[in-house]
Amino acid sequence: MKFQRVLVSLIRCILTILGYIFNPVLDRVFSIIYDQSSTMVSPVHEDILMQSATSLAKKIRSRQVNAVDVMEAFIARVKEVNPVVNAAVSERFEEALKEAQNIDEILDAQSLDPEYSEDKKPFLGVPLTVKEAFAVKGMPNTAGLVIRKNTCAEVDAPVVAYLKQAGAIPFIVTNVSELCMWYESANRLYGRTSNPYHTGKIVGGSSGGEACIIASGGAVIGIGSDIGGSIRMPAFFNGVFGHRSSRGAVPNEGQFPIASGSELELLSTGPICRYAEDLLPALKIMAGKNANNLKFDEMVDLKSLKFYSIEDDGGSLFVSTIDPQLKAAQLKVVTFLEETYRVTVEHVCLSKLKYSLEMWSARMSSSDGTSFCQYMANCNGQVNPYLEFFKWIFRCSNHTLPAIGLGLVEKLDFLLEGSNRKALDTLKRLKKELQDMLGDNGILLYPTHPKLAPYHNQPLFYPLNFAYTAIFNALGLPVTQVPLGLSKEGLPLGIQIVTAINKDHLSIAVARALEGAFGGWVNPGA
């Protein structure tokens, strides 16, 4: 054991030294490739586009603005920014305008239908964006898979139906990574989505199109899903709010790929919003009947909460070190909480976090559902990843390199059976530690990602950096990603707010406080 510890320390030292040499060179190479040709989206100026979903619904209901005018404004903005960022992959503008017109006619009638009250339809007339992996009736539902090019949804996914019942109007679906299993949103069917603050940078994945179009001013609220950080990383890279709900709080049905077994326990559906005030009402609607079991309406006194802060994962071998600007931003959050609410933020160390990736991978590997290679073939047989890699070299494959790589890793999973058992045992002990620490009123501050938004394709050199978000999927805990302004390079900063299971309202309450202090979303180019 002593020899193993010495060996691990030596490897960590070598990798750290190589990182200091390699990372700046890599950044410089990508900078040369992308910086001069990059741009950003134009600033949002129209007042309608600057409102929260909650505010828009109130103004539509009180007839301060027409639902059609709201929808037309967002459609125009999508048409303006989408050629720059490629976030929206399909639209239903005509149908959405008709639905908005119907709302206006009902509201203009002499007697208001009780079904259109604020309680029944809190998002009345609000334009809604949806991750393309979710079923929206009549819209593509491919998850970026070429073989599913002509596949359209026949019915709405439950969360889409819930938000429509609450008055929201879906008008576009947005881009994803292939089969929603990589943290850059790019695929052979729709192409690549670019960051609104710097088009040479990634938007994250797999809900990257959602976070991008919301940050670009093309929407205020959308639906994402998260199996390893697929809501929180895009929200972080695009400077918006994203919430990974508690395990089982929001129905996951109506998505492709279809999660099953342990994958279903890791997957979480939740809202991505430009403004924090929309997180809780959106989550309440998306939870459906489960909302009755959660304390969404409970008032939160931040002075009564226990706060903890962890500034890195403790030194995982193959995960990047935290960017100094992200560390500084987290310290500012700590200072704000301590000075404003007179609380003590305890700095803690959980040594097991350095094994985050191993624990998440072990949970994913324990699934006995459909394999990734089968999904690559649309469940009609399975793809041979070795053959696909050979075809990719000659640019003949219909699959992206990250998808092929995951297929190759899957084929070697049997080699990890022993280490997976050990990782699951470590996860069990970490879960107990966090439960004891958080209790019923605990909040943990933790980085969302170790690096600011990377350049396109750069994640291929840092494939395991999603460990900072993935660990909370393995633990099943609710997490809110909160934007904290921009870095010196003009890229979004952010932080994860973690709390105990079924205490989603606590992390969202903290998110609202941080929005007030740090400004939340920043208008690109303004």
Amino acid 259: pLDDT: 85
Region 160-182: mean pLDDT is: 99
Checking if the pLDDT of 5 tops 70, the result is: no
Amino acid 113: pLDDT: 78
Q: Could you tell me if 481 and 496 are in contact, meaning their C-beta atoms sit under 8 angstroms apart?
A: yes
Altogether, the residues listed in the chain come to a count of: 526
Amino acid 10: pLDDT: 56
- d(C-alpha 2, C-alpha 6), whole Å: 6
Q: 12 pLDDT band (50/70/90 cuts)? A: low
Quote the tokens at residue 208.
């990257």
Residues ≥6 apart with Cβ < 8 Å to 99: 169
- d(C-alpha 175, C-alpha 276), whole Å: 23
Bridge partners of residue 127, in order along the sequence? 169
Amino acid 4: pLDDT: 46
- d(C-alpha 407, C-alpha 376), whole Å: 9
* Pairing mode of beta strands 191-192, 186-187: antiparallel
For the ranges 184-198, 364-378, 385-399, 445-459, the lowest mean pLDDT is seen at 364-378
Q: 83 pLDDT band (50/70/90 cuts)? A: very high
* Pairing mode of beta strands 345-347, 479-486: unpaired
pTM tops 0.85: yes
- d(C-alpha 413, C-alpha 161), whole Å: 37
Residues ≥6 apart with Cβ < 8 Å to 149: 142, 189
Which H or E run includes 90? strand 88-91
Q: Could you tell me if 465 and 451 are in contact, meaning their C-beta atoms sit under 8 angstroms apart?
A: yes
- d(C-alpha 104, C-alpha 292), whole Å: 31
Amino acid, res. 317: L
Q: Could you tell me if 427 and 490 are in contact, meaning their C-beta atoms sit under 8 angstroms apart?
A: no
- d(C-alpha 260, C-alpha 268), whole Å: 12
| Residue range 41-518 in CATH 1.10.1040.10 | no
Checking if the pLDDT of 2 tops 80, the result is: no
- d(C-alpha 123, C-alpha 168), whole Å: 5
For the ranges 22-26, 210-214, 296-300, 321-325, the lowest mean pLDDT is seen at 22-26
Amino acid 365: pLDDT: 85
Amino acid, res. 69: D
* Pairing mode of beta strands 241-244, 169-174: unpaired
Residue 512 burial class via C-beta count within 10 angstroms: exposed 0-12, middle 13-18, buried 19 and up? buried
Amino acid 112: pLDDT: 72
Bridge partners of residue 170, in order along the sequence? 128
Region 3-26: mean pLDDT is: 65
Checking if the pLDDT of 28 tops 90, the result is: yes
Amino acid 15: pLDDT: 58
- Residues with catalytic annotation? 131, 206, 230
Listed by start position, the domains of the chain span 41-518
Sign of CA dihedral 218, 139, 233, 407: negative
Q: 422 pLDDT band (50/70/90 cuts)? A: very high
- d(C-alpha 253, C-alpha 15), whole Å: 42
* Three-class secondary structure of residue 497 per DSSP: strand
pLDDT (tens digit, 9 = 90+) per residue, 468-493? 999 999 999 999 999 999 999 999 99
Over the chain, what is the mean pLDDT?
Answer: 95
Share of the chain above pLDDT 70, in %: 95
